[in-house]
């Protein structure tokens, strides 16, 4: 249900966050691990993989979910 350009941006954020988790774990930096895992969570929620199932949301709610996710991840 996501526009392809939006889905692509969110997948890029997700992959970058996963790389950050791996790096932080190898550096044994707990604060960086928490921050990176938070970004993974944010990307997955925005993609509709976690949180309220997309089929239980209106189109406006789904749009708000990915817009909010991109706003947070683009910072």
Average pLDDT for the chain: 96
Q: What share of the chain is helix, strand, coil (3-state, %, to 5)?
A: 80, 0, 20
- Total domains present in the chain: 1
pTM of the model: 0.92
Q: Tell me the mean pLDDT in the region 19-31.
A: 98
Chain segment 35-48, per-residue pLDDT in tens: 999 999 999 999 99
Q: Quick one: pLDDT at residue 33?
A: 98
Structural domain containing residue 59? 4-73
**Eight-state DSSP code of residue 56:** G
């Amino acid at each position: 249900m996501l526009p392809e350009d939006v889905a692509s941006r969110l997948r890029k954020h997700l992959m970058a966050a996963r790389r950050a988790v791996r790096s932080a774990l190898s550096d044994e930096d707990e604060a960086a691990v928490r921050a990176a895992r938070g970004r993974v969570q944010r990307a997955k929620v925005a993609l509709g993989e976690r949180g309220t199932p997309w089929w239980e949301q209106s189109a406006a709610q789904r749009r708000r979910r990915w817009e909010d996710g991109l706003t947070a991840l683009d910072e």
